[in-house]
Structure 1
Amino acid sequence: MAYARNQKRPFYRRWWFWLIIFLLFIGVMANYQQNGTQGTHPSTASKTVAHKTGITRDQYNQIAMGQDQDTVKKTLGKANATSETDVNGQKAVVWTWSKLDHAFKAGLISVTFVDGKVESKGYLNLAVKQLKPVSQATYDSIQSGATYDEVIQKMGRQPDSESVTTLGEATGKTISYLTDKNGKAQTFVFSVDRLVSKTQTQLKQ
């Protein structure tokens, strides 16, 4: 199987995975800085948040690892953009959607296929006006072994970004929060619904 070649290095230890997370939050910060400033070139992301109809969170949740492209297209519709990349010698195809339901409070969804099957999916929340600071004490209180629901409860809100990826026979999940307007990001990595690592990054100096 194609996935067997990836078992040697968990997805959360691959450089490209953290690069994607970093770039997603750079996008959040760029959008945050533009809020309240009238410009002649509004960002595409800010437009997508305003959509009243589109892909719902329930539809996003229906996308499962291993599904084929036709199944994903029936659930989410035609992607707004597609791209191809090479991951550890494997061809990966990335589909991206930007027309999302307003209640989802996300700016984009992406699904990555390897050998025509879903290997990962994720979303990015661009509703930065609703940013709620998270204290350092809250972050420090979250320990390895905590469940996904326990972390969400302690953080007090849904993540600003999520990535779900195949991890051998299991599924790994990474969630990230932008925790203050100065660019502090907190990221939590789960395997089989248990927290295995967390990181804190200052994106804006």
Structure 2
Amino acid sequence: MAKKIKDENGNVYVKKKPFYKKIWFWVLVVIVVIGAGGALGGGNSKSSSSSSATSSKSKSNDKTISKDAEFRKKFDAITVGDLMSHGDGGTTLSDVENSLGKPSTTSTTDVEGVKVKDYIWTKNGVSITIQFNDDKTVSKSINGFKFTREPKMNLDGFNNIADGSTYNDIVSKFGEPDGLTEMVISGEKSVTAIWITGTKGGTVTLQFSNDSLTSKTQSGLKN
């Protein structure tokens, strides 16, 4: 609930609860985490006993990784505008469609009292969701993307991540996240990033507000 504050001149201001403390924000985070976990579970495949079949499969995987990487680059190039400013500065719907093609599914939803369009693109198990207001991007998320990386983020590394770390600080140490959600509301930028790491599929979720780490959680990490 909004809190009223009166200054020394008798002016009354309304202090709103930060968006990252509201229920809708955490619902969005849960959806992203579940999507990333489901993509991880569906990514296992049996190896071929035939050397020729293995070689063929390897070439196929190389092609898939290449396509996924291009899909990710297109996602990274999308700019998010402020929801409360009708997405001003955000990438337009037409530019997103020129880059990603026509979406797989579309729907509408309500965020902070603002009606937005949800467009979803899927490719090779990777899903990109973009929300638009006035046909400009107001949020973007990706899940199911599995980077090929050494499992650098073990439990010790996770425990040493300090509050206030920037997103770029984390990426420079542990690489790009497998899942990402970005949104801007009233000038506050929120980023939720998910890393799937280690042979057992440990998961790390970090949340940033205006590029400063505000919370971290992990599941299944070992040293």
* CA–CA distance in structure 1, aligned partners of residues 39 and 134 of structure 2: 31
* CA–CA distance in structure 2, aligned partners of residues 168 and 179 of structure 1: 34
- Change in CA separation of 1:121 and 1:12 when aligned onto 2, cut-off 3 Å: farther
Instruction: Quote the residue 1:59 is aligned against.
Output: 74
C-alpha deviation, 1:18, in angstroms? 2.2
* CA–CA distance in structure 2, aligned partners of residues 185 and 81 of structure 1: 28
Amino acid of the structure 2 residue aligned with 1:110: T
* CA–CA distance in structure 2, aligned partners of residues 131 and 31 of structure 1: 20
The one of 180, 199, 202 equivalent to 1:184 is: 202
Amino acid of the structure 1 residue aligned with 2:198: D
Q: TM-score, normalised by structure 1?
A: 0.71
Instruction: Quote the residue 1:50 is aligned against.
Output: 64
Conserved in 1, the CA contact under 8 Å of 2:32 and 2:143?
no
Instruction: Quote the residue 2:32 is aligned against.
Output: 21
Q: What does 1:126-205 correspond to in 2, within 5 Å?
A: 126-127=145-146, 132=151, 134-155=153-174, 157-201=175-219
Deviations 1:16-38 (A, max 9, x none): 11221222123223213x32279
Aligned-partner SS, 1:72? helix
* CA–CA distance in structure 2, aligned partners of residues 195 and 129 of structure 1: 24
Amino acid of the structure 2 residue aligned with 1:142: I
* CA–CA distance in structure 2, aligned partners of residues 117 and 8 of structure 1: 25
- Change in CA separation of 1:150 and 1:133 when aligned onto 2, cut-off 3 Å: closer
Conserved in 2, the CA contact under 8 Å of 1:124 and 1:160?
yes
1:31 aligns with 2:50: no
C-alpha deviation, 1:179, in angstroms? 2.3
Aligned-partner SS, 1:97? strand
- Alignment RMSD: 3.2
Q: What does 1:3-22 correspond to in 2, within 5 Å?
A: 8-11=17-20, 13=22, 14-22=25-33
Conserved in 2, the CA contact under 8 Å of 1:12 and 1:18?
no
Instruction: Quote the residue 2:140 is aligned against.
Output: 121
C-alpha deviation, 1:111, in angstroms? 0.6
Q: TM-score, normalised by structure 2?
A: 0.66
C-alpha deviation, 1:187, in angstroms? 0.8
Deviations 1:93-113 (A, max 9, x none): 22122247xxxxx82221112
% identity of equivalent residues: 25
* CA–CA distance in structure 2, aligned partners of residues 12 and 63 of structure 1: 26
Conserved in 2, the CA contact under 8 Å of 1:51 and 1:99?
no
C-alpha deviation, 1:151, in angstroms? 0.7
* CA–CA distance in structure 1, aligned partners of residues 106 and 159 of structure 2: 39
Amino acid of the structure 1 residue aligned with 2:122: S
- Change in CA separation of 1:181 and 1:84 when aligned onto 2, cut-off 3 Å: farther
Aligned-partner SS, 2:151? coil
Aligned-partner SS, 2:171? helix
Conserved in 2, the CA contact under 8 Å of 1:11 and 1:17?
no
Structure 1: tracts of 5 or more residues without a match = 1-6, 39-46, 101-105
**Number of positions where the alignment pairs a residue of Structure 1 with one of Structure 2:** 182
C-alpha deviation, 1:193, in angstroms? 1.8
Question: Which entry has the higher C-alpha Rg, 1 or 2?
Answer: 2
Tell which deviates more after alignment, 168-177 or 54-63.
54-63
